[in-house]
Copies of this chain bind each other. A is one copy, B any other.
């Protein structure tokens, strides 16, 4: 079997490390793993498959002999180096937002539009974590019943902002619990024991960058420019796993069990809904069974529960989902794209 050289750009970041962890687990035909980083992390030793690897410098020569390059750094890094990597003959899987809406760049969630992964000009984009979480739930419902409109309110964890933000949540929490002044650096305000109703800059209409991504990326991935998505994105003081409250209006009638069955049958989704299980008589069902951030960390699946009909709109359904944003929301999805290409 053919073996490949895989570079991971931004290897020392949270998503970069998670990519290496997922690559190890999934036993791909990798000849050489090449961790790359910008200045300050060059020379760091990272372990992969039991062997030490020195983090190399990200420069224009870094992609010789690279078959695939997974970018997990900033938009600026991707803008500058993804074309360099592609020109060197590597296929880039880019986790930044920079190329996502470019017409010649496929934006891929393997379970949904994996067929597009091969139609690339050297760069394939990984969607935003919140988009992946939303569409993993919305797509099977859309296929089965049709989705007219979805309202999503997010509860996004701090790991989405990187390692320094995780450290800050811990440090601020500890400071507050010991009656010291929390230090605020990573966000405009304290995140410990607080909620921040802003993820990214606001546009003229008052929507944040994160909210616009949900709308724009959904339209592109589903190939439905007119699908109606109304987003509100909130940062919560949780270390790992994003959560979403979803209110969906369907194009055709579905029972709670119909929705549950459509979700259960979809790869990568796991329904956790004790009340519904009891209701449809499958088993006793523990009312306290629903998706929780504390139980979804380091899990591959998107978890969904609290499935309720919403009679305030025609064919309405309300749901609650939780996903490890570093895993399926970033690293795993990128590695799954790699698997489609290999």
Interface residues of A (CB under 8 A from B): 149, 151, 153, 155, 169-170, 173-174, 177, 188-190, 193-198, 201-202, 204-207, 228-230, 232, 234, 236-239, 243, 245, 247, 256, 273, 275-276, 279, 287-288, 290-294, 305-310, 312-313, 316, 318, 320, 322
- A309 nearest CB across to chain B (Å): 7
A276 CB, min distance to chain B CBs, angstroms: 6
Contact A194 B238 (CB under 8 A): yes
Pick from B206, B229, B276, B320: contact of A232, CB under 8 Å = B320
Q: Are B292 and A149 in contact (CB under 8 A)?
A: no
Q: Is the CB of A155 within 8 A of B206?
A: no
Residues of B within 8 A of A190 (CB): 294
Q: Give Cα A74–Cα B185 distance, bound, in whole angstroms.
A: 42
A310 proximity list for chain B (CB < 8 A)? 230
Partner of A313, one of B155, B230, B288: B230
Q: How far is the CA of A243 from the CA of B194 in the complex (A)?
A: 10
Known: A195-B243, A243-B195. A205 touches B309 (CB 8 A): yes
Partner of A308, one of B207, B309, B313: B207
Q: B201 contacts A293, CB within 8 Å?
A: no
Contact A194-B292, Cβ < 8 Å, known A232-B245, A234-B245, A318-B232:
yes
Contact B195 A155 (CB under 8 A): yes
- Do A305 and B149 touch across chains, with their CB atoms under 8 A apart? no
**Complex: chain B residue closest to A151, CB-CB:** B247
B230 contacts A193, CB within 8 Å?
Answer: no
Question: Which residue from chain B places its CB closest to the CB of A274 in the assembled complex?
Answer: B202
- Complex Cα distance, B193 from A155, in Å, reads 12
What are the 8 A-B residue pairs with the smallest beta carbon separation, nearest first? Answer: A228-B312, A153-B153, A206-B308, A153-B245, A232-B245, A194-B294, A230-B312, A188-B288
- Name the B residues within 8 Å of A245 (CB-CB): 153, 232, 234, 245
**Which residues does chain B contribute within 8 Å of A291, judged by CB atoms?**
197
**Cα(A151)–Cα(B311), bound, Å:** 12
